[in-house]
Amino acid sequence: MDKKLVYSWLDEHTGEAVSLLKDLLRIPSVNPYFDDEESLKGEGNAQRCLQAFIEQMGFRTELSYPDAQELIDYKDKAGYNGDHTFEDRPNLFGELKGEGGGRSILLSGHMDVVQTGSKWTHDPFSADQVGDTIYGRGSVDMKGGIAAMTMAVKAIRECGIRLKGDVRIGTVVDEEAGGMGTLALVARGYRADGCIITEPTHMNLAPLCRGILWGKIIVEGQAGHIELKRQDWKEGGAVDAIDKAAYILEYFKSFNENWAHTKAHKYLPIPCQIKFAQFEAGEYPTTFANHAELTFDAQYLPQDKDENGLGGKVKKEIEDFVAAIAATDPYLKANPPRIEWILDADCGETFDTEDFFKVTVSCLQDLCPDAIVEGNCAHTDMGWFCNVGIPTINLGPGDSKLCHQSDEHIEIPEYIQCAKVIASIILDWCGVSE
Ligand SMILES: [Zn+2]
């Protein structure tokens, strides 16, 4: 079987590929946890649009609705958000049966997008095209990837090639607000021998993503006139919460230096760190701050996941470190800082010893010789697929730096290139029936 037939089909049908992508972009599917605007809540419409498209290709399909009550067994696990509701927010699952005797593949992506934000020079939901560039919210993150994986299967079908293994498509809702869509898809029992998430990797291969923790260190001081001589804090004298917070911050330099060695990964360009993003303290100019909050983002590696697939062990490490800092200062020892946890987004990893990794990397580098293997520094939904033993990689078109930005856009040649790479992987992985 000549893969070139499939590649030529995709070149000749660029127009059809572009129109599928534009159809998806023109249906706003903003995650409702970002924007209350009714007219933008279209995850259901976008899923039905793709459903109709893949049914025409011969897929058997099913829409299913995540439900917090049904998923209650997962309440301490990754992706579970008990207060999320799913009216007209279905997951789409589709299956195209192979001839038998081959390995199955799951192609996955999220249909929700983040809010549009400001400063667009193109309508975020018109799918404007200028030259080879298509603009729109979700063009990169990640309707470009969803359309590319769909066109990859279509190209194989239209070339009359019969696959041995099954091809499954699973597109989910709610990725941008926690990942309950993918949790529900996996909880429903959908599996495959390998999975590609077509998140934007700029056509590099990302065999892992990091976990993300958001937290807040809260330091209490004691207010008091800032211009006067201070009494001992034990006798009710003022304590500057800014000063104490700065004291804590200073220790995190050595913490991060340590993590630079212990939390690095050969497929990540930067190690995990704790980065402080917000510092809030004080009330007015003439009093010492009686309260300070340091908000941070800490990343963790898949190897550091706890038994729930989350960052519990890393949280403990940070809590212990803050407690150790507090022990070095008499006031902080008596008034220990607290940590409030805000978010824990899970992670996953597929090792380069896996067959699926080897097949995907070789297909990718055949078509894109400059492609590299580099993990996603940010979160994707791969954690649950890895948790249930499905080798999973991220591979998709578009520059992830454009995600969540105004004037998000994708280049058509890269989009088509992605469809070719995915078609090539499907052919090699699922096998062709002669
Ligand atoms: Zn995404």
Dump pLDDT digits (tens) for 66-76.
999 999 999 99
Residue 183 confidence (pLDDT) above 80: yes
**Alpha carbon distance 289, 219 (integer Å):** 10
Looking at the domain covering 211-345, what would its CATH class be?
Answer: alpha beta
- In tens, the pLDDT along 77-111 reads 999 999 999 999 999 999 999 999 999 999 999 99
User: Regarding predicted confidence, which is higher, 100 or 434?
Assistant: 100
96 Cα–ligand 1 center, Å: 25
- Cα of 199 vs centre of ligand 1, distance in Å, is 5
pLDDT band for position 37 (cuts 50, 70, 90):
confident
Q: CB–CB of 14/416 below 8 Å?
A: yes
Strands (E), 132-251: 133-135, 167-172, 195-197, 208-209, 211-220
What is the rounded distance in angstroms from the CA atom of residue 430 to the CA atom of residue 149? 15
Ligand 1 center to residue 385 CA distance, Å?
Answer: 16
CA dist 232 and 44 (Å) reads 62
Least confident of 262-266, 285-289, 398-402, 428-432: 398-402
Give the distance (Å) from ligand 1 centre to CA of residue 174: 10
Q: Is 35 a catalytic residue?
A: no
Measured in angstroms, how far is the CA atom of residue 338 from the centroid of ligand 1? 32
Catalytic residue among 43, 95, 112, 176: 112
Within the chain, all domains assigned CATH 3.40.630.10 are found at: 3-209+347-430
**Residue-level pLDDT at 38:** 86
Could you tell me which of 331, 297, 326, 289 has the C-alpha nearest to residue 314?
A: 297
Q: What is the pLDDT of residue 187?
A: 98
Residue 212 β-bridge partners: 299, 345
**Nearest C-alpha neighbor of 25 from the set 161, 105, 120, 101:** 120
Q: Separation of 4 CA from ligand 1 center, angstroms? A: 30
- pLDDT above 90 coverage of the chain, percent: 95
Q: Residue 2's pLDDT is what? A: 86
Catalytic residue list contains 112 = yes
Strand order in 409-411's β-sheet?
Answer: 129-130, 133-135, 409-411
How large a percentage of the chain has pLDDT more than 70?
Answer: 100
237 CA from centroid of ligand 1 (Å): 51
Please determine, for residue 52, whether its predicted confidence score (pLDDT) is greater than 80: yes
DSSP 153: H
CA angle 189–195–198, rounded 5-degree value: 120
Contact yes or no for 150/169 (Cβ under 8 A): yes
Q: 32-42: buried (b, 16+ CB within 10 Å) or exposed (e) per residue? A: bbbbeeeebbb
- Within 13 Å and on the Cβ side, how many CA atoms surround 276? 18
pLDDT in tens, 19-30: 999 999 999 999
CA of 110 to the centre of ligand 1 (A): 7
Helices (H) and strands (E) in the chain, counts: 11, 15
Alpha carbon 377 to chain centroid, angstroms: 9
pLDDT 10s digits, 200-233: 999 999 999 999 999 999 999 999 999 999 999 9
Residue type, 412: I
Residue 138 alpha carbon to ligand 1 centre in Å: 8
CA torsion sign, 202 to 136 to 37 to 64? negative
Q: What is the DSSP letter of 100?
A: S
Residue 46 C-alpha to ligand 1 middle, in angstroms? 15
Cβ burial 159-168 (10 Å sphere, 16+ → b, else e): bebebbbbbb
CB atoms within 10 A of CB 280: 13
Residue labelled with tokens 């993590």? 259
Q: What tens digit of pLDDT does each residue of 232-272 get?
A: 999 999 999 999 999 999 999 999 999 999 999 999 999 99
Question: In this structure, which amino acid lies at residue 382?
Answer: M
Of these residues, 175, 199, 349, 411, which one is catalytic?
175
Q: Where in the chain is the domain with CATH 3.30.70.360?
A: 211-345
Write the pLDDT tens digit of every residue in 338-385. Answer: 999 999 999 999 999 999 999 999 999 999 999 999 999 888 999 999
Closest of 423, 409, 364, 433 to residue 13, by C-alpha = 423
The overall average pLDDT reported for the chain is 96
Q: Does the structure show a pLDDT above 80 at 277? A: yes
Asked if pLDDT for residue 60 goes beyond 90, the answer is: yes
Interval between CA 28 and ligand 1 midpoint (Å): 15
- For residue 180, how far is its CA from the centre of ligand 1 (angstroms)? 14
Q: Using the mean position of ligand 1's atoms as its centre, give its distance from the Cα of residue 300 in Å.
A: 19
Pairing of strands 392-394, 91-96: unpaired
CB atoms within 10 A of CB 300: 26
Residue 141 CA to ligand 1 center (angstroms) comes to 5
Q: 346-377 burial, b for 16+ CB within 10 Å, e for fewer? A: bbbbbeeeeebbebbbebbeebbeebbbbbbb
pLDDT band at 121 (very low <50, low <70, confident <90, very high): very high
The SS3 of residue 85 is: coil
8 Å CB contact between 240 and 410: no
Q: Which fold has domain 3-209+347-430?
A: Aminopeptidase (3.40.630)
